[in-house]
């Protein structure tokens, strides 16, 4: 983890593994970076596991399909709030080439959504009528989705976040960020919070926890082992262990 604090009036920025940039500015956008880390991590894990999961292991394919559903819901919620609240708010202040960045964010979302749906169909097929051909097709779809999503996240972290840091204060971002918290029921937090911490080393875990409200830290601690057991049921054939 690295922290960017090059300017005294700028907030320290979180930087997690795989992250393309941590643009300096007044807004602490750590929750965005935590979500991005989760998206990258999950796509890499699914891409690794699917080719190695035996076609006839129905229980694991059902667990993988359920786990993909969790990721899809988190990612859909994230993109929906960006499209409905974040990009429009930024567009009201963007100038010149900055508007082209926002246009790209929206068009990239439109390309990613069908890929996610294709993967969802593939997992449903494997859970209900698994075959070697369906597994191969799902593996190809996952690679395409991972590459497109990784490219989008890198573009967002370098260019779109730069627009945000240039035009918004931290308090203004807090108002926008509130939209991400709406629509998340208390029961959803039981899965989403431990999901946020998965795959982080001790240093990064501490850096994320220090920014989170105490109730979320408690949920993360209480649900960690149960979430890890659930992860094993889905990703038991991960060649990376």
Instruction: Report the interhelical angle of 186-197 vs 202-211 (nearest 10°).
Output: 140
Contacts of 226 (CB under 8 A, 6+ apart): 194
Centroid of chain to Cα 139: 20
- pLDDT for the residue numbered 10: 83
Split at pLDDT 50, 70, 90, the class of 17 is: very high
Best CA proximity match to 35, nearest among 125, 186, 152, 128: 152
Q: Does the pLDDT of residue 174 top 70, yes or no?
A: yes
pLDDT beyond 50 at 3: no
Does 5 have pLDDT greater than 50? no
CA atoms within 13 A on the CB side of 80: 11
pLDDT bin (cut points 50, 70, 90) of residue 181 is confident
Q: Tell me the pLDDT tens digit for each residue of 201-230.
A: 999 999 999 999 999 999 999 999 999 999
Q: Tell me which fold the domain 30-235 belongs to.
A: 1.20.120
Per-residue pLDDT at 102: 96
The single residue listed with the structure tokens 């039981």 is: 190
| Lowest model confidence (mean pLDDT) among 19-28, 65-74, 88-97, 174-183 | 174-183
Beta bridge partners of 225: none
pTM, whole model, 2 decimals?
0.93
The model's pLDDT over 93-126, given as tens digits with 9 standing for 90+, comes to: 999 999 999 999 999 999 999 999 999 999 999 9
pLDDT in tens, 30-86: 999 999 999 999 999 999 999 999 999 999 999 999 999 999 999 999 999 999 999
Helix (H) or strand (E) run with residue 31 in it: helix 30-49
Q: What is the pLDDT of residue 178?
A: 82
Contact present, 39 and 19 (Cβ < 8 Å): no
pLDDT at 7: 43
pLDDT (0 to 100) of residue 8? 45
**Torsion over CA: 52, 56, 60, 62 (sign):** positive
Q: What is the pLDDT of residue 184?
A: 72
Contact 37, 199 (CB under 8 A): yes
- Cα–Cα distance for residue pair 58/35, rounded to 1 Å: 30
Cα–Cα distance, 228 to 98 (Å, whole number): 41
pLDDT bucket at 156, cuts 50 / 70 / 90: very high
pLDDT at 1 over 60: no
């Amino acid at each position: 983890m690295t922290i960017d604090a090059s300017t005294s009036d700028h907030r320290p920025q979180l930087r997690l593994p795989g992250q393309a940039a941590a643009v300096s500015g007044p807004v602490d956008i750590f929750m965005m970076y935590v979500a991005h880390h989760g998206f990258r991590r999950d796509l890499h894990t699914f891409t690794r596991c699917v080719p190695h999961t035996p076609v006839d292991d129905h229980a694991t394919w059902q667990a993988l399909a359920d786990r993909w559903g969790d990721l899809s819901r988190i990612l859909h919620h994230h993109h929906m709030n960006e499209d409905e609240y974040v990009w429009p708010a930024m567009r009201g202040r963007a100038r010149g080439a900055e508007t082209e960045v926002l246009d790209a964010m929206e068009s990239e979302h439109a390309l990613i959504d069908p890929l996610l749906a294709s993967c969802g169909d593939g997992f449903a097929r494997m859970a209900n009528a698994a075959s070697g051909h369906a597994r191969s097709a799902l593996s190809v779809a996952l690679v395409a989705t991972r590459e497109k999503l990784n490219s989008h996240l890198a573009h967002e972290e370098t260019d779109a976040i730069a627009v945000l840091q240039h035009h918004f204060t931290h308090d203004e971002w807090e108002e926008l960020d509130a939209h991400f918290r709406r629509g998340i029921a208390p029961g959803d937090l039981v899965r989403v919070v431990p999901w946020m911490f998965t795959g982080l080393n001790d240093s990064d875990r501490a850096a994320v926890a220090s920014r989170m409200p105490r109730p979320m830290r408690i949920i993360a601690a209480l649900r960690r082992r149960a979430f890890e057991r659930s992860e094993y049921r889905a990703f038991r054939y991960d060649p990376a262990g």
